[in-house]
Structure 1
Amino acid sequence: MMNCAVILLLTSSCFTSSALYNPNRAVTSKLKYLLEPPVYAEVVARRGQNATLPCILRTKPRHYKVKWTKLEPENMGRENIIMISNAQAFKPYGHLGARASLRRSHSMDASLQIRRLLLDDGGKYRCELVNGIEDESVVITLRIEGVVFPYQSEDGRYRLTFHEAKEVCAEQDGILASYHQLYRAWTEGLDWCNAGWLQDGTVHYPIIQPRPACGGQLLPGIRSYGAKDKNQDRFDAFCFTSQTSGSVSFVSGSFSFEQAGHACQRQGAELALVGHLYSAWRFQNYDQCDGGWLRDGSVRFPISNPRELCGGIPEAGVRSFGFPNKMKPLFGAYCYM
């Protein structure tokens, strides 16, 4: 009886092997060298911090190189190489390469480390293994944690070309926001009825509470004007900033714009930028129910704990008085040091 069982087991095994055999299997199967998918496809960090983008080899071919690039959707066809390496050495390229290195925690580790992150370091990165036979790659997203703030020219609504919008964001310690950054800000409560430029040259605005002047009866969402002429069309700007290395403080008083600057100088500081105030509000929960001058001539105040006498709006945010007469001594000063 036992012999019959053994014979049946062997017979079953033979039929099983025969059914699974595929003479082309060695040709069609792909040897995977990289960890796919990566354990973490998104890495989150703030400006000024360091970040590690994972890329682990499963096994190393005899001859190979690993190439790290940043994918730039707005520059199709242009390859932004950061680093090329092999088992012995690596060569950095460009401004990112100057702040990058390989982690090499073990012999199979090709993870990229970027030091002192900048606002525009966010985006998608590709780790590509090139061995001359079959190339493979993984894509990692680096997300800079920050805050989006709408910005309007002192001259009024819809006065900025695309290039001017880039400039004003840079002047206020920011960059033009990406669509993904604006979308995330919308999910976190940003509701703004003025259209603004984004970094890809498109124009949008986020709406949470639909109203007649902001898309009528359309559902909440990101309203889009699509791509516009960067040299001729004029809108506001959506800027993006992250944490700063300094701190914001408020000097109480009734100052003109010039007096506010002197008040900050007496503190060993200078008038804060709009981006500084938004960063303090977002990352330090800064709450001050007093209007104060900023360096661009606007008057604003940050509210983390909404209350009736501080703007009367139930959501947290940075409130604005716009651009008052700079000669009138009416407000305090927000200083940055």
Structure 2
Amino acid sequence: MPGDRITLGAAAIPEPERDWLAAVERLPVESVWQGGHVLPPGATGEAVTRLALMSAWTERVRVGSAVLVLPLYQPVVVAKQLADLDSRSGGRLTVGVGAGGEFRHEFDAVGVPVGERGPRTDEAMEILRKLWSGGPATHRGRFFAFEDVELHPVRPPGAAGPAGRKGGPPLVVSGRKAPAMRRAARLGDGWMPYLMSPGAYARSVQTVQEEARTIGRDLAGFEWAMYLYCSIRRDGDRARDDVATFLGSAYGDKPAAMLDRIAPAGTPEEVAERFQAYIDAGVRHLIISPAAHDDTLEVVRLAAEEVLPRLSLPAEVR
């Protein structure tokens, strides 16, 4: 995504729905996102399945995972699944990846030691790149090995030319800690943290940039995104109650002052000021995750129609 403009994405909360996605595609929203665990504590979907639904039920927007817990997956299998989805969607896929670890039982159940999740994520990202590069690929790593294999994405019916994008879909790294930031700088096409204040985001940008300089990497074209829980209502008190109730059940009880730093809530005017702080910290693609149990489309609509027009790039990059 270009770094000289501000764009908006939206998370399909709680589950992707055809009518909700159709309504969002009529708004000035450029992407839709969903993730999912393999063994979540409740009846919620899995990341690849959700990507497939969103790809099938949209026509215009970019479709992304926020996030795919990559170490839970056999990388050759998921490389094929994602390449096929990218090809069939017309190159609209973005793969947000994370190392996970909050649900240890998932790792135990699939036979992956939770302590290996970081290096497994790194190696899996390398494998995805190799298999998406086109032509035969060989890999000999700590966890996986194959020789002279070639991945062939499916071609959409009636399409001409090669199937899929050479190099595959972008890999955007999520997380909140320094190892994830370094992973983004070394292996990612972007950085997409969550539950961060604007100040913490600005510090994370510095960490990513410093790591990139250390390894001699040019970050031109790198995507600076933020997955941002929020609620926007005409009634600001209702929005604040949304966030307190939603994040309290999802992430445990958090003080109101902490929620205010990491999950903007209020009227469009109030939230625009909070969003602008993230833009000033370096965010260029804001992914709105409605922290609400109902009327999530209203949150996205107000963000797109009344908050986004109020945002502006810092003077030094205009």
**TM-score, with normalisation over the residues of structure 1?**
0.23
- Which structure features the higher share of strand residues? 1
Structure having greater relative contact order (Cα 8 Å, sep ≥ 6): 2
TM-score (norm 2): 0.24
Question: Which structure has the greater CA radius of gyration?
Answer: 1
